Amino acid sequence: MAAKLAVWKFASCDGCQLSLLDCEEELLTVAAAVDFAYFPEASRAEDPGPYDLSLVEGSITTRHDAERIRKVREMSRYLVTIGACATSGGIQALRNGADIAEFISTVYASPQFIDTLASSTPISDHVKVDFQLRGCPINKYQLLEVIGAFLADRRPNISSHSVCVECKDRGTPCVMVADGIPCLGPITHAGCGAICPAYRRGCYGCFGPADTVNLPSLKNWWHRLGVSETDITRALRTFNVNAPEFAEGSAKRVP
Amino acid sequence: MSREISVDYLARVEGEGALYLAIDGDKVTDLRFRIFEPPRFFEAFLRGRNYLEAPDITARICGICPVAYQTSSANAMEDWLGVELEPGVKQLRHLMYLGEWIESHCLHVYMLHAPDFLGYQSGIHMAKDHPEAVTRGLRLKAAGNRLMQLLGGREIHPVNFRVGGFYRAFEKAELAALTHELEWGREAAAETVDWVSGFPFPDIEIDYEFVALRHSDEYAIVEGRIVSSTGLDLAVSDWPAYFAEEHVEWSNALHARRIGGGSYQVGPMARYNLNFEQLHPAARAAAVGAGIAGGTRNPFRSIQVRSVELVHAFATALELIDAYQPPSAPYRVGSVAAGTGHGASEAPRGLLYHRYQLDGEGTIVDARIVPPTSQNQLRIEDDLRLMVPSLVQLPDDELKWRLEQAIRNYDPCISCATHFLDLRVERHVSR
């Protein structure tokens, strides 16, 4: 019998689960090998579970979702988070430490209708996670690798070095050394294929922190390029703001 | 005697939504299209950010239409900065947006909407009986993604988009490499129009107020003025004077309406009915074959309209590549001073309006973002109210499916609208 795959959504933009539908050449092959047992973005069919592999997109931002993720864990043999929201809390974690009442009233006329938690937290804060796939958004080929690996009961072959290594692989000259463009590549987790430097801009850290991060050294580099402390803080406070290595380096709120 | 139907999570839409419906006999007593997608507060955390960050941050509102967010936010910033884009940069912006239209429309036509007409739970289920069609749809979708990969670096949350232009521009030969696949796509899109035109369409016409952008020289996508089927013709900055958003208890998405009026529709049907004459001749020819060249007010025919727009997108992309002249610089910079900028563009699902207030350092002081699905939300409820009386004789499962299909006519993007579906129907039969 084909393995049962489930795709779950929490607070997110839908982009990471779209990555699965963006595997245009591979989708029907994957569908022949696994049973899309629960994937509401793509199908009305609902298999009540249990599931062999659950892919979880999005962060936990409501009491209801904090309960729901526990049920997902109970129904899943393996649980893999896909993307920055599920893995670190996402850009919506910019609310963490801010005045949530002020946030709600900025957007909504009737704050009393809104049920939300004061913080946005990663899935691993709530349940055991078997693997975390990074990226805002994830890389679809890495997603196929992860699905294949878990269905074969092996470890996914996903590197945790920095984006710098990917620039070297790709043959992109260092934008920071050669052009003086501030780049988060040295502290950012690989996986995108070092796209930004290949497009003449610095990495903006959407895959979150690499395995070993030397933040003080990177800050020195950025200071030498004339970047203000405020702008360094802004650069670290984006799609992985709640990842510990980035949060520490930007403890202060953007003014 | 009462009858209750519930669909707790609407499938094949982007995001989380539900419908609650109470019926007494054949009268709708309550109808609530609920968006329970958790709020993420983009307008709040945009405050304090630098204007250059707006395209990258607002892209994260929606993984299906990031280029729409990048374009509307950049339009607003360029309005504020007083930057006029070079013609080559405008061509690249248009081309990249067409890539997103192709990807999004193919996803909806083939994977999300067609299964309703042919009676399948999903595009993947449909592929077993209709392998040729689904394979064509996926290849078309991939062609759109290839445009975005080249121009944006990647298809979801592209990295190359910058206020004032792009981080890097392109040589003509780089774009020309896509021509062969786009030529195939133009023909396959015309086949798509023929394919969907054979679907069974419910017989219904609705008197909509359509609202869309209009541009003097082209079928408006990237920029334009706001026009409507009741004669509005507005600068983008006038949006707040004519439209308002209200906050209702059952939805985490704000409901937009005409000030002093009711619901209206944005999206493919609105663009098509308002700007038909500006479609590419190949798209108009396909519309004649589909029998909708005089316009259509049947919301179920939106799948034909999206398919005609696909022909337009492929044909226009080919012309843009042919006419492309590389700009002298990838982007332009403007002078930063305190002020306000307005921007709008036609996301695949319809008009997307952004407004930013900025200080003298280029820091965002206030942001307002009105996505297409919040604008269509009230109209979706009105459509369902109109349709239910003729459908009440259907058994629960069929009624539920038909109402879901009616919601999917709008290709609602719930992730966007939350600043969305479980479907529940309660029937009371009074005697």
* Segment B299-315, tens digit of pLDDT: 999 999 999 999 999 99
Q: In angstroms, what separates the C-alpha of A62 from chain B's closest C-alpha?
A: 7
Sheet strands (E) in A21-174: 34-38, 51-57, 76-82, 131-133
* Strand locations in B348-428 (E): 350-358, 364-370, 423-428
Residue B70 placed within a domain = yes
pLDDT at residue number B128: 93
Residue B431 domain-assigned (yes or no): no
Per-residue model confidence as pLDDT tens digits over B277-291: 999 999 999 999 999
Asked if A206 and B157 count as a contact pair (C-beta separation under 8 A), the reply is yes
Cβ of residue A15 closer than 8 Å to a chain B Cβ: yes
**Closest residue to B157, CB basis, from A24, A98, A136:** A136
Structural domain harbouring B363? 37-417
pLDDT exceeds cutoff 50 at B431: no
E strands, B266-418, where? 339-347, 350-358, 364-370
HSE (side-chain half, CA atoms, 13 Å) at A4: 14
CB atoms inside a 10 Å sphere around CB B308: 32
Asked if A36 and A17 count as a contact pair (C-beta separation under 8 A), the reply is no
For residue B18, being part of any structural domain is answered with: no
User: Phi and psi for A80 in degrees, rounded to 5?
Assistant: -120, 130
Q: How confident is the model at residue B40 (pLDDT cuts 50, 70, 90)?
A: confident
Cβ B403 vs Cβ B6: under 8 Å: no
- B82, B234, B332, B360 from B164: Cα distances, Å: 10, 24, 5, 18
Cβ neighbors of B122 (< 8 A, separation 6 or more) are A36, A39, A42, A43, A44, A45, B11, B12, B111, B115
Lowest mean pLDDT among A171-185, B92-106, B154-168, B399-413: B399-413
pLDDT band at residue B1 under the 50/70/90 scheme:
very low
Residue with tokens 């040589």: B171
What ipTM did this prediction achieve? Answer: 0.95
Distance from CA of B274 to the nearest CA of A (A): 30
pLDDT class for A116, splitting at 50, 70, 90? confident
The reply to whether B55 falls in a domain is yes
**Do residue A104 and residue B404 have CB atoms under 8 angstroms apart?**
no
Domain boundaries, chain A: 3-151, 163-248
Q: Which amino acid is at B198?
A: G
Of B11, B111, B401, the CB nearest to A21: B111
Mean pLDDT of B262-281: 97
pLDDT digits (tens, 9 = 90+) for B313-342: 999 999 999 999 999 999 999 999 999 999
Average pLDDT across chain A, whole number: 92
> Closest Cα partner for B307 from B320, B292, B322?
B292
Residue B21 within any structural domain of the chain: no
Residue B8 above 90 pLDDT?
Answer: no
The answer to whether residue B220 is domain-embedded is yes
Q: In chain A, which among 200-229 make CB contacts under 8 A with chain B?
A: 200-201, 204, 206
Contact B11 A106 (CB under 8 A): no
CA atoms of A84 and A134, how far apart (whole Å): 6
> Phi, psi at residue A106, to the nearest 5°?
-65, -35
Percent of chain B with pLDDT over 90: 76
Residue B29 CB coordination number (10 Å) = 13
Residue B85 lies in a domain: yes
- Can you give the pLDDT at residue B421? 36
CATH number at residue B231: 1.10.645.10
Residue B294 placed within a domain: yes
Confidence of residue B18 (pLDDT cuts 50, 70, 90): confident
Evaluate if residue B130 carries a pLDDT over 70: yes
Q: How many distinct structural domains can be found in chain B?
A: 1
Residues 157-186 of A with CB under 8 A from B: none
A89's tokens: 């809390």
- Cα–Cα distance measured from residue A151 to residue B49, given in angstroms and rounded to the nearest whole number: 42
| Domain topology for A3-151 | Rossmann fold (3.40.50)
Predicted pLDDT at A255: 41
A-chain residues near B14 (CB < 8 A)? 14, 18, 41
- Does any CB of chain A come closer than 8 Å to the CB of residue B423? no
Q: What is the DSSP letter of B108?
A: I
- Portion of chain A with pLDDT greater than 90, in percent: 80
Per the CB < 8 Å rule, is B112 touching A65?
no
| Residues with Cβ within 8 Å of residue B33, at least 6 apart in sequence | B17, B18, B19, B251, B377, B380, B381, B384, B407, B420, B421
Contact of B36 with B17, CB cutoff 8 Å: yes
Backbone angles phi, psi at B19, to 5 degrees: -130, 130
Nearest by CB: A107 against B15, B44, B63: B44
Least confident of A29-33, A78-82, A222-226, B352-356: A29-33
Residues 6+ apart with CB under 8 A from A197: A163, A167, A172, A174, A175, A183, A185, A203
Nearest to A116 among B39, B61, B248 (CB): B39
Given CB atoms, is A199 within the 8 Å cutoff of chain B? yes
Higher-confidence position of B59 and B22: B59
